[in-house]
Amino acid sequence: MRRKLVKQGTATMMISLPSKWVRLNGLDKGSEINLEELKEGLLVSTSSKEIKTETSIKLTGLTESSIRTMITNTYRLGYDKIKVEFENTQQFVIMKEVVDTRLIGFEIINKKGNFCIVENVTEPSGEQFENILDKIFMNIEEMFSVTKKRLDGTKEDYEDLSSLIQKYDNFCRRIIIKRKFLEKNSEMFWAFLSSIIRGYRDLYYLNKIIDNVKVNKKTVELLNGCEKIFILLIDSYKNKKIENLGEIHKLEKDLILGKAYSLIEKTSGKENIIVYRIMSSIRQFYQGVSPLTGLIA
């Protein structure tokens, strides 16, 4: 559906709204509507009513990761109200922890028998997408700092940092899915964000084994190289620096072929695992170059 712009006054440009949409939403002269700026256009919606989508899910098993995946993916799909059926108290406790730590603005508002209601209470608007995305970038940068301190023997918390990154990631994916039919690059954006999160996850699992582990200087240098790739990638996204991408290609090959493979052969024990995780993180951030090229080219 296309509309021509009509100029009114010196600077104002106007379009007409489809008459059928106006009638369906009960709008008239003086009615208020919402305008939300998206990357590829504007979202026009009525402020007269709020439509909340609902669904139901049933939890099975006691594996934390299984329950977490079911809850977070239902949240990502854009539902505002979720009826969750559970079989026992253990499942409910795991689910509550997921809601409290992984879902922005959602709370358990009712619990009765073997089910509860999880609902959107104070979720930020989609207009906060870029701000939340920037928090992901900043917290991953902080994860690099924490990791280097821990490799040096300093006690630093990384679990709370990880929870924040996961929570922000879930919110951003929720917004991407909600806007899928409005923004043509949603698949590219999903792939870009996925590469970044996979790279961060390697750092997270690296931190699980580095207590009391001594590593050599070259392992730390490899981690610094990984961080440089991440910084270049985010700078490319924020400032549309296509020239950074060629540097990332070169740096990835220098790090993997020139350093990581050699370190894998020379190290042993937990340090060998640490090198593997850093190498995997480098590869994941590097793979974000392809979808990012489609976003900024």
Helix (H, G, I), strand (E, B) or coil at 55: strand
Instruction: Report pLDDT digits (tens) over 170-203.
Output: 999 999 998 876 677 899 999 999 999 999 999 9
Instruction: Report pLDDT digits (tens) over 251-292.
Output: 999 999 999 999 999 999 999 999 999 999 999 999 999 999
Distance between first and last Cα of the chain: 27
Amino acid at 147: T
Domain boundaries 54-120, corresponding CATH code? 3.30.1370
Task: Write out the H or E segment, with its range, that includes residue 8.
Answer: strand 6-8
Q: Which fold has domain 126-296?
A: Methane Monooxygenase Hydroxylase; Chain G, domain 1 (1.20.58)
With a cut of 70, say whether residue 50 has pLDDT above it: no
Q: Which two tokens stand for residue 34?
A: 């919402």
CA–CA distance, 71 with 57 (Å, rounded to integer): 8
- Better-predicted residue by pLDDT, 191 or 42: 191
Region 55-77 average pLDDT: 94
Instruction: Report pLDDT digits (tens) over 85-108.
Output: 999 999 999 999 999 999 999 999
Q: Which two tokens stand for residue 60?
A: 């099975």
Q: What is the pLDDT of residue 235?
A: 97
Task: Write out the H or E segment, with its range, that includes residue 14.
Answer: strand 12-14
Q: What is the pLDDT of residue 37?
A: 65
CA–CA distance, 40 with 54 (Å, rounded to integer): 28
Q: What is the pLDDT of residue 181?
A: 62
φ, ψ dihedrals at 246, nearest 5°:
-65, -40
Q: What is the pLDDT of residue 60?
A: 87
Q: What is the pLDDT of residue 140?
A: 98
**Is 33:21 a contact under the CB 8 Å cutoff?**
no
Q: What's the CA dihedral at 234, 240, 246, 248 to 10 degrees?
A: 0
Region 205-232 average pLDDT: 95
Instruction: Report pLDDT digits (tens) over 116-133.
Output: 999 999 999 888 999 999
- CA proximity to 178, closest of 120, 91, 236: 120
Residues 6 or more apart whose Cβ sits within 8 Å of residue 258:
none
Q: Where are any strands of DSSP class E within 31-140? A: 33-38, 41-46, 54-58, 81-85, 106-112, 115-120
